[in-house]
Amino acid sequence: MLRKISVAVASLGLLAGLTACGSSGASDDPNAPLKVAVNPVPHGEVLQHVKDELAADAGLELEIVTFNDYNQPNTALVEQQVTANYFQTVPFMEEFEKKSGDDLEWIAPVHLEPLGIYSEKVKDLNAVPQGATVAVPNDPANQGRALKLLADNGLLTLKPDAPTSATEQDIADNPKKLEIKPLEAAQLPRSLPDVDLAVINGNYAMEAGLTPKDDALAAEKAEGNPYANGIVTLPEDKDDPRVKKLVELLQGPEVAKFVEGKYSGSVLITTGKPAATS
């Protein structure tokens, strides 16, 4: 009997250990490190600056969790591996919610990464040939954003009721018979030798050594732009004091100075407050 009890106790101990190992990486403890999921550039660099230069004095301990794509940061948030993420726009968040059925909470905007039209073959948008191939991001929010940038520069026309997640089906007029080629956003810089134009997200352009100011044939403007990147949490964490402290630091003058000095217009601090559109 004693042996059976010992085995049972050992089994319970093992189960407890497995449960602890599988527990959430996030924490509700206000004194615990705040885990934030990011893309490496510029989000990770901006957050590293906050961690190195500002967080300690503000009484905030940060843990940065880096992902190289647009899929994993929200998954990590939903699975409570992190308490917040910093990589996305409101339209991207809403598309994720629509597809996954999960509820996220937009907390605050931080910066804009202008989408740009880049090419290794065309020097002027007026010289884009008939039938040109144009690579665009394949996620709905950024694909619609890319098509709007093409439309704003006279390469096509979107239907008046085109949503923010516009696709080829929302093109009203395509006078140059452009071939739209959706690709994963991270692959767009590498596609440049194989396409006539590529509409590239700011973070991936920077990783490839491209800047809107020097290399883009056209780029988004900051004024009135709804595509600011910001801090997102789960609804139950929206009032976490650590998150509020992080937002204060990210929206403060020290971060603005860092961004302006480091990115030379490839990243623009935003003062607007994009809100959910649905």
Q: pLDDT value at position 226?
A: 83
CB 216 within 8 A of CB 116: yes
Domains and CATH numbers, the chain: 24-113+226-269 (3.40.190.10), 116-219 (3.40.190.10)
Cα(59)–Cα(109) distance, integer angstroms: 22
**Is 20 a residue whose pLDDT tops 80?**
no
At residue 188, the 3 state secondary structure works out as helix
Cross-strand pairs, 62:
34
Residue written as token pair 């004091």: 241
Q: pLDDT value at position 164?
A: 84
Cα torsion 180, 186, 187, 191: sign: positive
- Pairing of β 133-137 and β 179-183: parallel
DSSP label at 175? T
Q: For 120-166, what is each residue's pLDDT tens digit? A: 999 999 999 999 999 999 998 899 999 999 999 999 999 999 998 89
